[in-house]
């Protein structure tokens, strides 16, 4: 009888195979498992031993049987094909002829420790073929026990998994390479699943999160673009972090990415998982150059607008000043009319009428000379941008007067529907007022703090200075025309805050004056997001 047939008809060997299949169910292909299971079950019925033998011989898995010293007693054709040895070159040789020094010694130590403990062992190691070529082997060895629970043989099964190993390493290398490229890319990258949750983000994303004081960038960068099936590109957004740092601009894009499902369910019917790839490119350098040009243009525009506004205020002031005496003359004329007509009274009445006519003509000429106010288009306005513009235009004044500025903006504010130049002029005037209040001789602490916040449908702008402040009795009167807490020293004859009030009211907002924490003046402006709609007054 052949040695293979002796081994196969050994009842203990059959039991060892059964135990092997129970303890290592995933080590063999499904067809091989089925074949061996049927053969083992048949060994207790009428299945001939030869069938069991053929099942082992025809297996695509390399199978060998050794004695207790690991000398080979049997090797199936798959074993010879993988190792390169012929059957007669293997019988009697030790399994160690396949060993390679690249397999760490501790693996062999663990192998023998497990087998001598009468337990099957599974692991992956490096073997060497007859021609010296190395290959990666997925190996499982089970001890064969007799009726006395003694080891009589060893059953070994192994597969060449070199290709799988190479593929796995290539996939891992490519993954690490892609992760490295994505992580070091100078753009913000985030991958969102269908529920809008971030599943991948790079280093730039985390840096942006720090810049935004812990706020989630995905909630801010793309808040104006709903995370849906639509793709978009070059959507620009501005982030103001304050603290003396310049604003940052990002150009944002969104595209869909589909991933093929790798589960068994999609083996015959392919399915995909959809993601949104969001990319934000920092375009701050380009925008700063554009902003410098824009700021210079704004200075010229603001100077022109201020000249026009000053002319309007001067003429309005003159008309206002004339209106008082004209009212007195009219009152006197009415009194004379009620007392009846006499020769003396008629002369006075004539003089008063001439004075009234002359005054009315003067007022009419002044009104004709008054420049018309430009009707500005209503557009979405970024309040942070306007504050930044006003600060930039007053940089020289800050330096000249030694004013320290602390700007604490909300990183990203929703837009307000309003008239951009009017709002910018309003903010510029409030900042100029604050600088003027802190420029008094002997004032040591000169600090200006500006905060912008958003609360539901309203944006709040708070301006605190360390000046003398405004007395409570004056906090409503300062908005009246020509009222000034500094007498005639005010630069605009007391019309500045009236203009500020007009702009705030025009945008359905509210302005109030209080005492700042420093003891100076606090001006709080509340602007609803709706502001002015449809190009008309709100």
User: Quick check: is 169 in a domain?
Assistant: no
91-112 mean pLDDT: 94
Judgement on whether residues 325 and 269 belong to the same structural domain of the protein? no
Look at residue 493 in the predicted model and tell me its pLDDT: 45
Q: Which helix (H) or strand (E) holds 251?
A: strand 248-260
pLDDT digits (tens, 9 = 90+) for 527-536: 998 877 554 4
Mean pLDDT of the chain: 80
- pLDDT higher than threshold 70 for residue 386: yes
Look at residue 163 in the predicted model and tell me its pLDDT: 95
Q: Which domain holds residue 124?
A: 3-160
Asked if 105 and 128 count as a contact pair (C-beta separation under 8 A), the reply is no
325-345 mean pLDDT: 71
Is the CA virtual torsion 211, 213, 218, 219 positive or negative? negative
Higher local confidence (pLDDT), 24 or 84:
84
Judgement on whether residues 154 and 10 belong to the same structural domain of the protein? yes
Helices in 376-452 by DSSP H: which ranges? Answer: 383-393, 395-401, 420-438
Report residue 42's pLDDT band, with 50, 70 and 90 as the boundaries: low
Judgement on whether residues 231 and 96 belong to the same structural domain of the protein? no
- pLDDT higher than threshold 50 for residue 266: yes
pLDDT digits (tens, 9 = 90+) for 136-157: 999 999 998 888 889 989 999 9
Burial (Cβ within 10 Å: 0-12, 13-18, ≥19) of residue 344: exposed
What pTM value is reported for the model?
0.50
Token reading at 61: 């898995």
List the CATH number of the domain containing 109: 3.30.450.20
User: Quick check: is 368 in a domain?
Assistant: yes
Judgement on whether residues 216 and 320 belong to the same structural domain of the protein? no
Phi and psi torsions of 418, nearest 5° = -170, -170
Measured CA to CA, the distance from residue 350 to residue 332 in angstroms comes to 12
Report residue 113's pLDDT band, with 50, 70 and 90 as the boundaries: very high
CA distances from 174 to 62, 190, 201, 429, 472 (A): 32, 19, 18, 58, 70
List the CATH number of the domain containing 438: 3.30.565.10
Asked if 501 and 511 count as a contact pair (C-beta separation under 8 A), the reply is yes
Among 245, 183, 241, CA closest to 215: 241
Number of separate helices (H) and strands (E) present in the chain: 16, 17
Which of these three, 282, 310, 345, is where a domain ends? 282
User: Quick check: is 69 in a domain?
Assistant: yes
DSSP, res 185: S
Judgement on whether residues 459 and 491 belong to the same structural domain of the protein? yes
Which of these three, 254, 282, 310, is where a domain ends? 282
- pLDDT higher than threshold 80 for residue 274: yes
Look at residue 83 in the predicted model and tell me its pLDDT: 95
- First CA to last CA distance, the chain: 106
- pLDDT higher than threshold 80 for residue 504: yes
Judgement on whether residues 300 and 249 belong to the same structural domain of the protein? no
- pLDDT higher than threshold 60 for residue 44: no
Q: What percent of the chain has pLDDT over 70?
A: 80
Judgement on whether residues 367 and 390 belong to the same structural domain of the protein? no
Which of these three, 282, 305, 326, is where a domain ends? 282
Look at residue 37 in the predicted model and tell me its pLDDT: 65
List the CATH number of the domain containing 245: 3.30.450
User: Quick check: is 421 in a domain?
Assistant: yes
User: Quick check: is 332 in a domain?
Assistant: yes
Range with the poorest average pLDDT among 66-70, 193-197, 422-426, 513-517: 193-197
Q: Which helix (H) or strand (E) holds 214?
A: none
pLDDT digits (tens, 9 = 90+) for 344-373: 677 777 777 777 777 787 778 777 777 776
User: Quick check: is 170 in a domain?
Assistant: no
Asked if 250 and 239 count as a contact pair (C-beta separation under 8 A), the reply is yes
DSSP 435-464: HHHH-STT----EEEEEEEEETTEEEEEEE
Judgement on whether residues 123 and 268 belong to the same structural domain of the protein? no
Judgement on whether residues 254 and 198 belong to the same structural domain of the protein? yes
CA distances from 56 to 14, 40, 77, 274 (A): 12, 11, 9, 46
Range with the poorest average pLDDT among 353-362, 379-388, 488-497, 520-529: 488-497
Look at residue 114 in the predicted model and tell me its pLDDT: 95
Burial (Cβ within 10 Å: 0-12, 13-18, ≥19) of residue 155: buried
Judgement on whether residues 108 and 27 belong to the same structural domain of the protein? yes
Judgement on whether residues 76 and 106 belong to the same structural domain of the protein? yes
Look at residue 495 in the predicted model and tell me its pLDDT: 57
What domain count does the chain have?
4
User: Quick check: is 179 in a domain?
Assistant: no
3-state secondary structure 281-319: EECHHHHHHHHHHHHHHHHHHHHHHHHHHHHHHHHHHHH
- pLDDT higher than threshold 90 for residue 64: yes
Judgement on whether residues 362 and 381 belong to the same structural domain of the protein? no
Token reading at 176: 């690490």
Look at residue 269 in the predicted model and tell me its pLDDT: 81
Q: Which helix (H) or strand (E) holds 13?
A: helix 11-23
Look at residue 227 in the predicted model and tell me its pLDDT: 44
User: Quick check: is 166 in a domain?
Assistant: no
Residue 512 makes CB contacts below 8 A (sequence gap 6+) with 475, 523, 524
pLDDT digits (tens, 9 = 90+) for 427-440: 988 998 899 889 88
């Amino acid at each position: 009888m052949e040695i293979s047939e002796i081994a196969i008809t050994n009842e203990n060997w059959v039991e060892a195979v059964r135990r092997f299949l129970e303890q290592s169910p995933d080590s063999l292909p499904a067809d091989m498992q089925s074949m061996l299971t049927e053969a083992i079950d048949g060994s207790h019925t009428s299945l001939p031993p030869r069938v069991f033998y053929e099942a082992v011989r025809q297996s695509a898995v390399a199978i060998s049987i050794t004695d207790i010293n690991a000398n080979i007693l049997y090797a199936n054709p798959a074993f010879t094909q993988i190792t390169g040895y012929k059957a007669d070159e293997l019988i009697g040789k030790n399994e160690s002829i396949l060993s390679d020094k690249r397999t760490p010694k501790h693996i062999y130590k663990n192998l023998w420790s497990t087998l001598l403990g009468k337990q099957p062992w599974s692991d992956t190691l490096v073997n060497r073929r007859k021609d010296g070529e190395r290959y990666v082997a997925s190996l499982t060895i089970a001890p064969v026990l007799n009726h006395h629970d003694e080891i009589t043989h060893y059953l070994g099964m192994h597969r060449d998994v070199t290709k799988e190993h190479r593929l796995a390493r290539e996939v891992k290398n490519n993954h690490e390479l892609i992760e490295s490229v994505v992580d070091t890319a100078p753009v913000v990258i985030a991958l969102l699943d269908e529920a809008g949750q971030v599943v991948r983000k790079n280093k730039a994303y985390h840096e942006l999160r720090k810049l935004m004081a812990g706020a989630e960038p995905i909630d801010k960068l793309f808040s104006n673009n709903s995370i849906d099936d639509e793709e978009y590109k070059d959507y620009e957004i501005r982030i103001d972090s304050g603290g003396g740092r310049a604003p940052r601009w990002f150009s944002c894009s969104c595209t869909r990415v589909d991933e093929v499902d790798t589960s068994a369910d999609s083996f015959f019917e392919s399915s995909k998982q959809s993601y949104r790839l969001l990319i934000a490119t920092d375009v701050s350098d380009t925008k700063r150059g554009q902003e410098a040009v824009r700021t210079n243009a704004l200075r010229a525009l603001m100077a022109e607008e201020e000249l026009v506004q000053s002319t309007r205020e001067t003429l309005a002031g003159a008309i206002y000043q004339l209106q008082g005496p004209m009212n007195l003359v009219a009152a006197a004329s009415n009194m004379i009319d009620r007392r009846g007509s006499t020769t003396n009274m008629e002369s006075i009445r004539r003089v008063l009428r001439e004075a009234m006519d002359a005054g009315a003509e003067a007022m009419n000429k002044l009104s004709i000379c008054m420049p018309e106010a430009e009707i500005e288009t209503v557009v979405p306005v970024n309040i942070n941008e306007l504050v930044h513009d006003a600060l930039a235009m007053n940089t020289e004044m800050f330096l000249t007067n030694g004013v320290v500025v602390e700007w604490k903006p909300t990183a990203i504010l929703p837009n307000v529907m309003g008239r951009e130049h009017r709002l910018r002029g309003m903010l510029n005037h409030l900042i100029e007022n604050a600088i003027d209040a802190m420029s008094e001789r002997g004032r040591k602490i000169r600090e200006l703090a500006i905060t912008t916040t958003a609360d539901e449908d309203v944006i709040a702008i708070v301006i605190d200075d360390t000046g003398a402040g405004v007395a409570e009795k004056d906090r409503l009167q300062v908005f009246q025309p020509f009222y000034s807490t500094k007498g005639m020293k005010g630069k605009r004859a007391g019309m500045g805050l009236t203009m500020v009030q007009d702009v705030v009211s025009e945008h359905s907002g509210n302005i109030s004056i209080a005492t700042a924490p420093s003891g100076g003046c606090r001006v709080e402006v509340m602007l609803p997001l709706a502001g002015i709609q449809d190009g008309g007054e709100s």
